[in-house]
Structure 1
Amino acid sequence: MSEYATGVAPAGRSSGEVVKRRVVGLVTGALGAAIVVSLLVAVEWAVEVADYILPQELDQYGIVSHEVDGLVGILIAPFLHAGFAHLMANTVPLAILGFLAALRGLGRFFVASLMIIIVSGLGVWFLSPPGLTVGASGLVFGYFGYVVTRGFFDRHLLDIVLGIGVAVLYYSLIWGVLPGQPGISWQGHLFGLVGGVFAAWTLRRRRRATKRTEIGQPA
């Protein structure tokens, strides 16, 4: 007698239990994503408050284009802003897109965030005119690119639908990658987007071919 994959729930586990586990996993993932992104936004605001209160301006530690010392700012610049108006403009999209990016796993979210920060920061350092660049816009554009393309690389239907929805709602972000308004780092936006797509491709879940064995076959 041979055993074949039938597509039914494993013995002793009803389809209702499987659905329940998936729902619990989704709720747990959403809660974890909400907590992590809330902490991220809280840190952004805490740093800006400190910058406002302290006599020394923290913005000086941002990315200084073409300066070797300015490379350190790549990891710091996403947490610095040129005033509260700048921070408020980034807060809502950062919270929404960051939550959606973290929804499918915090481990992938942290790695994706680091990739986006580095790619965006290097783009700013190499291509921006001499000067200082700060702000979380690179992360915002990176999370946008990550969420929109993740489902296609993973071949995951829910993520594809989510990505299409985000693309429809935030399509206007695309214009931010083009040279335009003075004082706005389109380089950070463009390479943040590139970093998000790169992270989605790099962290895609590779589907491994499963080898099914038949048990009880005669020798």
Structure 2
Amino acid sequence: MNRYLLAGKYSAGIMLFCSMVLMVNAVLPMDLNQFGIVPRSFDHLSGIFMAPFLHGSWLHLLSNFLPFIVFGTLIGAQGSKRFWLLFLLHISSTGMLVWLFARGNSVHIGMSGVIYAFWGYLIVYGFVRGKILHLVISLLMLIFYGGLVFGVFPTKFGVSFESHLLGALVGAASGYYFAKPVAQHRAL
């Protein structure tokens, strides 16, 4: 099966799962969003892995839907193993950093930390790797999604800029890590 198509199916499937979680959350007598990341609360460590699948509203989910599918599809074109590795790495790394460093007395939820990680990955990977296709993808990320950079600043109450900032840093680091060995071998 075409790598892009398969990656698109993975990405869409994950976002459909988030939609189902939001629907279940709407009918349950308790709020599932309480299981998000509560910084430095040992009772909420599981939020590191649960937070990306929880959303506060349909608008919140819809704002994450398309970027996750686009970025996930582009990453998945590097292979299924790379997609799942980065998805899990970005959830756990971004989540742990949010748990350690984000504002306390708040619950951090949503897929945007992973989206920012994917965004950072795609930009840095392309520039470090240096191949034309990857450079074009990096430039397209900057042109069409360059506005994401404003999400790393604390501009809006109720938005976890920490997830955005830390996700972008995690993604940039993983992009460098995965592209660097290839670039070093090419230079030899």
TM-score with structure 1 setting the length: 0.78
Residue 74 (1) aligns with residue 35 (2): no
% identity of equivalent residues:
29
**Bigger Rg, which one:** 1
Query: Could you tell me which amino acid in structure 2 is paired with residue 54 of structure 1?
Result: L
Say which of 49, 53, 61 aligns to 2:27: 53
Residue 84 (1) aligns with residue 58 (2): yes
**Stretches of 4+ moved more than 6 A in 1?**
none
Structure 1 portions without partners, runs of 5+: 1-26, 212-219
Residue 97 (1) aligns with residue 71 (2): yes
Measured in 2, the distance between the counterparts of 1:69 and 1:113 equals 24
Structure 2 portions without partners, runs of 5+: none
Say which of 170, 180, 194 aligns to 2:169: 194
Residue 125 (1) aligns with residue 99 (2): yes
Say which of 148, 153, 174 aligns to 1:178: 153
Give per-residue Cα distances to partners, 1:103-151, cap 9 Å, x unaligned. 2212111111122212221222122222211111101111111111112
TM-score with structure 2 setting the length: 0.90
How many residues align structurally? 184
Q: 199-208 vs 108-117, which deviates more?
A: 199-208
Q: 120-129 vs 163-172, which deviates more?
A: 120-129
The answer as to whether partners of 1:63 and 1:125 remain within 8 angstroms in 2 is: yes
| Cα distance, 1:168 vs structure 2 | 0.7
RMSD: 1.8
Query: Could you tell me which amino acid in structure 2 is paired with residue 110 of structure 1?
Result: W
* SS of alignment partner, residue 2 of structure 2: helix
Measured in 2, the distance between the counterparts of 1:205 and 1:102 equals 19
Q: Which has the higher helix share?
A: 2
